[in-house]
Structure 1
């Protein structure tokens, strides 16, 4: 530990060794100009903006492109294709007159040689074909989608029925008359629009 006299002596020696002790202090404005010049010649690097974390591609999609991609993915995953649909034929035998068909009841429906019975909704009609989404299966295996080849009845007494988009139908089928041919829709009141009366018969026969 030094004494106050020793501190004063040390301070005097340091001042004597200072090479610029006799120089006058620089004016404030000159000091400011020197600082500005030094800063301009050595600019600081701009800081990089913070990057947001990566997100899945699907979340980052926006606008029409994103919506199209989502729609395409939903169709690819959830929509069955008509290529794998069960194909049926609406018979056009002119002998199937509505007046000659017996009244349908549950016992008759249950004892009929049916291969399938289901309810479905028409989702598309294009040309002579109608596509139905199966909503309930009573017997057989129609799959999730059915394509029906429609026919147009020439007689008003024809026991067939038209397939209208957005409407529900109850449909039963019988074996085709030829090998590898599409199954035929059973007519004479066995198949038709899903009225409450026809549904009650289906539920009693297959329930």
Structure 2
């Protein structure tokens, strides 16, 4: 019978106290976003107050984001569900908004809100930048109090929006939201 060496004992102790041991592994998309955010996140600030305020806002946003969903009606009557991003952790940090950071989206469209029925917002697609979609997209109304890391912003009747998604998850951090000349320029450069 052999006695475990100190390295093995240490590994076993660490495995028993690992707070992430019960978590599901990150998806490929989440890993890509975390790497992208890590690479483009500016250096730490000297004050911790914004960090704690931001973490508190993210916790509230994560809870609200759990109920936010987006539904895309595809050609032929099929329905594809786009979900809101999971909140919290490094995935909630935003990379700098550039055509390169946006180019990974598999769906990007421009649309105008034609109806709001409860939490269902219907947009008439006016332009497709990348991917395939039906002529109308139905999305869940966004909470106007959520930070841009977790929301595309509140939808308003008659307003134009630019919406993109990656693997069925709407992009946030300013990549989806009300149409503006600056955001449209980024969409044209990215797609």
Give the TM-score taking structure 2 as reference length. 0.52
**Aligned with 2:94 (options 98, 101, 108):** 101
**Distance across 2 between alignment mates of 1:87 and 1:96:** 27
CA 150–103 in structure 1, closer or farther in 2 if over 3 Å, else same = same
**Distance across 2 between alignment mates of 1:157 and 1:141:** 25
User: In the TM superposition, what whole-angstrom CA distance separates every residue of 1:133-182 from its partner, at most 9, and x where no partner exists?
Assistant: 0000011111211011234266456541111111000110122xxxxxxx
Larger radius of gyration: 1
CA contact (8 A) 1:134 1:145 kept: yes
**Distance across 2 between alignment mates of 1:153 and 1:198:** 19
Deviation at 1:128, TM superposition (A): 1.0
Kindly report structure 1 stretches of 4+ aligned residues shifted beyond 3 Å.
Answer: 83-90, 153-159
Any stretches of 5+ residues in structure 2 without a counterpart? 1-72
SS at match of 1:199: helix
CA contact (8 A) 2:95 2:101 kept: no
Give the TM-score taking structure 1 as reference length. 0.48
**Counterparts in 2 of 1:2-41, with a 5 A limit?**
none
Match of 2:133 in 1: 142
1:131 and 2:98 matched? no
Any stretches of 5+ residues in structure 1 without a counterpart? 1-79, 176-182
Deviation at 1:130, TM superposition (A): 0.3
Work out the number of aligned pairs and report it. 117
CA 91–187 in structure 1, closer or farther in 2 if over 3 Å, else same = same
**Counterparts in 2 of 1:34-183, with a 5 A limit?**
84=77, 88-89=81-82, 91=84, 93-95=86-88, 100-110=93-103, 112=104, 114-152=105-143, 155-156=146-147, 159-160=150-151, 161-175=153-167, 183=168
Deviation at 1:93, TM superposition (A): 3.5
CA 135–107 in structure 1, closer or farther in 2 if over 3 Å, else same = same
CA 93–203 in structure 1, closer or farther in 2 if over 3 Å, else same = same
Match of 2:170 in 1: 185
CA contact (8 A) 2:85 2:170 kept: no
**Distance across 2 between alignment mates of 1:96 and 1:170:** 26
CA 109–144 in structure 1, closer or farther in 2 if over 3 Å, else same = same
**Distance across 1 between alignment mates of 2:108 and 2:148:** 24
CA 156–186 in structure 1, closer or farther in 2 if over 3 Å, else same = closer
Which one has a larger percent strand, Structure 1 or Structure 2?
2
